[in-house]
């Protein structure tokens, strides 16, 4: 059995081929240029392999609603060449095999659930905090899809008492992404987030917003774990602060798992998405 | 095939027996007193019927985690006599049949999905706004259970610009329930919510909080419908205001279904919970 996976990102496409045990046979990283050019390179990579199934975890927003006329397309992305591009349809015309289609973060959540920080669980949230904030969800061992996919990086939040920053989200101003993604941290203190020392108040404010988001995800979904990835979440001083604020904001209302096992850094790192996609490809054959 | 259902509420237990087409054969409403007394009356009601399956939609918080040692119990409720009461276990010892166990609002969400406002869909949120705010969720045709069940009435929200009210939630102060349940409306304006005229500013503030909650649920779950029930939601002036604020707060970021079909009043009214429980009983036999 040969499995294929594509992690379609805004700057690069990662493609992989693995056997049924997820042993990697080949892997490549391709630049995201135009759909025609990038897909030609994708097809060339998979050409020597007789795939049995494929899965795509794509940058979004994408249409994951199987009954929608634009199912499988990329929607209103700032990457003009990819707007309305029928990614799934194009792949389906090339490969006559089962193909799973979801967001990059849903694929990462699935990867962390099956092989990473949420191994042995049936549900988790995966939240990546970097240049933006994106979230994926698995509940009851299934990807969370409704009329669309989660866009939980943009939930509305109340301000940290000492933070009057107006936020940088072009849609919402001070939504979670507008207040807590890397560019928000940089804009608030007028220096790159990575240059701020661990004891800087920036991390206290950041932890407050992430804790508040985690409280709301907990109250809405009750996932067995909330797993963090992305550049900002490499700042290890965030975790104790975040758990502190989580306790303060939740105030004992819901008995979560112990917080040092509940609000955790990812285990698969940059491999979460491609691993999850390989596992989703395998699922299509069950 | 005979189906039984119990909607276990804080003031009354509704019990029903129906055939496989959900034709009601018998129904009763019993006062919620002590577990011993109330359960004796429940057993007496079901006594003449040879049930094939049963389902309970219970007031909460309850333990819905099947691998937990207290699975099936009522947890930290203000109703002292019911704290830690093993509701599911007590019923399982009496009836040797399949028994489904979830929250009253999850059962109502399931009822609205299968027979009410979300007929033909695969996902919905059901939010009841009355003396408290409680939410149930169905995604991919399944009840949403993780380490626990949703408690989405308590999500944290930002204040309406003109509302400095501190909120009345004993746990969180100004969470959604603390700012927008019936007692919060009454406390803010020092008169019962039902006595406030439709043009009173109270409804504008109320609509803002409910819209904000709906935005956050949408971004986290992307349900195909958000269905409102409970006493406060009988105020029909809320719906246009709520849809207006939803548009303003979401600002076009996610393409939801048309709002007059997306943010809607329930169809089953007070029957949502018991109908959902009967359907959940039937599901155990599939």
Answer whether residue A88 is part of any domain.
yes
ipTM of the complex: 0.96
For residue B274, give the nearest of B6, B3, B2 by alpha carbon.
B6
Distance CA A125, CA A146 (A): 16
Q: Are residues A142 and A254 in the same domain?
A: yes
Contacts of A249 in chain B (CB under 8 A): 156, 172
Q: Are residues A144 and A240 in the same domain?
A: yes
pLDDT of residue B131: 93
Low-confidence residues of chain B: pLDDT under 50: none
Distance from the B45 Cα atom to the nearest Cα atom in chain A, whole angstroms: 34
Q: Is B6 helix (H, G, I), strand (E, B) or coil?
A: strand
With CA atoms as reference, the chain A residue closest to B248 would be A172
Q: A222 and B151 in contact by Cβ < 8 A?
A: yes
Q: Are residues A129 and A262 in the same domain?
A: yes
Q: A222 and B257 in contact by Cβ < 8 A?
A: no
- B113-124, pLDDT tens digit by residue? 999 999 999 999
Q: Are residues A101 and A125 in the same domain?
A: no
pLDDT of residue A213: 98
Contacts of A157 in chain B (CB under 8 A): 156, 158
pLDDT of residue A275: 98
Query: What sign results for the dihedral spanned by CA atoms B248, B252, B254, B259?
Result: positive
% of chain A at pLDDT higher than 90: 97
Q: Is B64 helix (H, G, I), strand (E, B) or coil?
A: coil
Q: Is A260 exposed, middle or buried (0-12, 13-18, 19+ CB in 10 A)?
A: exposed
List the alpha helices (DSSP H) in chain A: 35-46, 87-94, 104-115, 176-180, 182-189, 201-221, 238-250, 259-262, 272-283
Distance from the A80 Cα atom to the nearest Cα atom in chain B, whole angstroms: 17
Q: Are residues B69 and B142 in the same domain?
A: no
Q: Are residues A39 and A129 in the same domain?
A: no
Q: Quickly count: other Cβ atoms within 10 Å of residue A77's Cβ.
A: 17
pTM, whole model, 2 decimals? 0.96
- A146-192, pLDDT tens digit by residue? 999 999 999 999 999 999 999 999 999 999 999 999 999 999 999 99
Q: Are residues B136 and B242 in the same domain?
A: yes
HSE (side-chain half, CA atoms, 13 Å) at A54: 25
pLDDT of residue B60: 86
Q: Mutating which of B146, B172, B246, B255 best tests the A interface, going by the most A Cβ atoms within 10 A? A: B146
Q: A75 and B255 in contact by Cβ < 8 A?
A: yes
Distance CA A249, CA A245 (A): 6
Q: A154 and B253 in contact by Cβ < 8 A?
A: yes
Asked whether the beta carbons of A37 and A56 are under 8 A apart, the reply is no
Contacts of A147 in chain B (CB under 8 A): 123, 222-224, 256-257
Answer whether residue B136 is part of any domain.
yes
Q: What is the 3-state secondary structure (H, E, C) of A214-233?
A: HHHHHHHHCCCCEEEECHHH
Q: Are residues B169 and B77 in the same domain?
A: no
Q: A147 and B249 in contact by Cβ < 8 A?
A: no
What band does A60 get if pLDDT is binned at 50, 70 and 90?
confident
For residue B46, give the nearest of B24, B30, B26, B23 by alpha carbon.
B26
Tell me, yes or no, if A61 comes closer than 8 A to chain B by beta carbon. yes
Q: Is A280 helix (H, G, I), strand (E, B) or coil?
A: helix
Tell me, yes or no, if B145 comes closer than 8 A to chain A by beta carbon. yes
Q: Are residues B30 and B52 in the same domain?
A: yes
With CA atoms as reference, the chain B residue closest to A150 would be B220
Q: Range of B150's domain?
A: 119-266
Answer whether residue A179 is part of any domain.
yes
Answer whether residue A113 is part of any domain.
no
Asked whether the beta carbons of B235 and B248 are under 8 A apart, the reply is no
Mean pLDDT to the nearest integer, A273-286: 96
Q: What is the CA radius of gyration of chain B?
A: 19
Tell me, yes or no, if A147 comes closer than 8 A to chain B by beta carbon. yes
Tell me, yes or no, if B269 comes closer than 8 A to chain A by beta carbon. no
Distance from the A47 Cα atom to the nearest Cα atom in chain B, whole angstroms: 35
Q: Quickly count: other Cβ atoms within 10 Å of residue B120's Cβ.
A: 7
Query: What sign results for the dihedral spanned by CA atoms B266, B269, B273, B275?
Result: negative
Q: Are residues A57 and A193 in the same domain?
A: no
- A71-124, pLDDT tens digit by residue? 999 998 888 999 999 999 999 999 999 999 999 999 999 999 999 999 999 999
Mean pLDDT of all residues belonging to chain A:
96
Mean pLDDT to the nearest integer, A273-278: 98
pLDDT of residue A78: 83
- B63-109, pLDDT tens digit by residue? 999 989 999 999 988 889 999 999 999 999 999 999 999 999 999 99
Tell me, yes or no, if B62 comes closer than 8 A to chain A by beta carbon. no
Interface of A with B in 63-102 (CB under 8 A): 75
Answer whether residue A111 is part of any domain.
no
CATH number at residue B22: 3.30.420.40
Domain count for chain B, please give it: 2
Q: Are residues A253 and A239 in the same domain?
A: yes
Answer whether residue A220 is part of any domain.
yes
Answer whether residue A112 is part of any domain.
no
Answer whether residue A248 is part of any domain.
yes
Asked whether the beta carbons of A274 and A5 are under 8 A apart, the reply is yes
Distance CA A71, CA A73 (A): 6
Q: Are residues A219 and A99 in the same domain?
A: no
């Amino acid at each position: 059995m040969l499995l294929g996976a594509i992690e379609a990102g805004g700057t690069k496409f990662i493609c992989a081929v693995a056997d049924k045990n997820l042993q990697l046979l080949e892997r490549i990283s391709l630049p995201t240029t135009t759909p025609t050019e990038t897909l030609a390179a994708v097809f060339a990579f998979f050409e020597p392999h007789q795939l049995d199934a494929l899965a795509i975890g794509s940058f979004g927003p994408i249409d994951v609603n199987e009954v929608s006329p634009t199912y499988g397309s990329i929607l209103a992305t700032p990457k003009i060449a990819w707007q309305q591009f029928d990614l799934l349809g194009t792949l389906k015309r090339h490969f006559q095999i089962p193909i799973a289609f979801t967001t990059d973060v849903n694929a990462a959540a699935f990867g962390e659930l099956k092989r990473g920080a949420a191994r042995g669980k049936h549900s988790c949230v995966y939240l990546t905090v970097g240049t933006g904030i994106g979230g994926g969800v698995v509940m009851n061992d299934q990807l969370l899809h409704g009329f669309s996919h989660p866009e939980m990086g943009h939930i509305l939040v109340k301000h940290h008492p000492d933070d009057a920053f107006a936020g940088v989200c072009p849609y919402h101003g001070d939504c979670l992404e507008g207040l807590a993604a890397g560019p928000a941290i940089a804009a608030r203190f007028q220096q790159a987030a990575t240059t701020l020392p661990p004891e800087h108040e920036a991390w206290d404010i950041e932890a407050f917003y992430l804790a508040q988001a985690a409280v709301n995800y907990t109250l809405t979904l009750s996932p067995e774990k909330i797993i963090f990835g992305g550049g900002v979440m490499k700042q290890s001083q965030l975790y104790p602060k975040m758990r502190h604020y989580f306790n303060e904001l939740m105030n004992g209302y819901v008995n979560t798992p112990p917080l040092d096992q509940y609000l955790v850094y990812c285990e698969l790192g940059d491999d979460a998405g491609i691993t999850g996609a390989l596992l989703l490809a395998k699922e299509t054959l069950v």
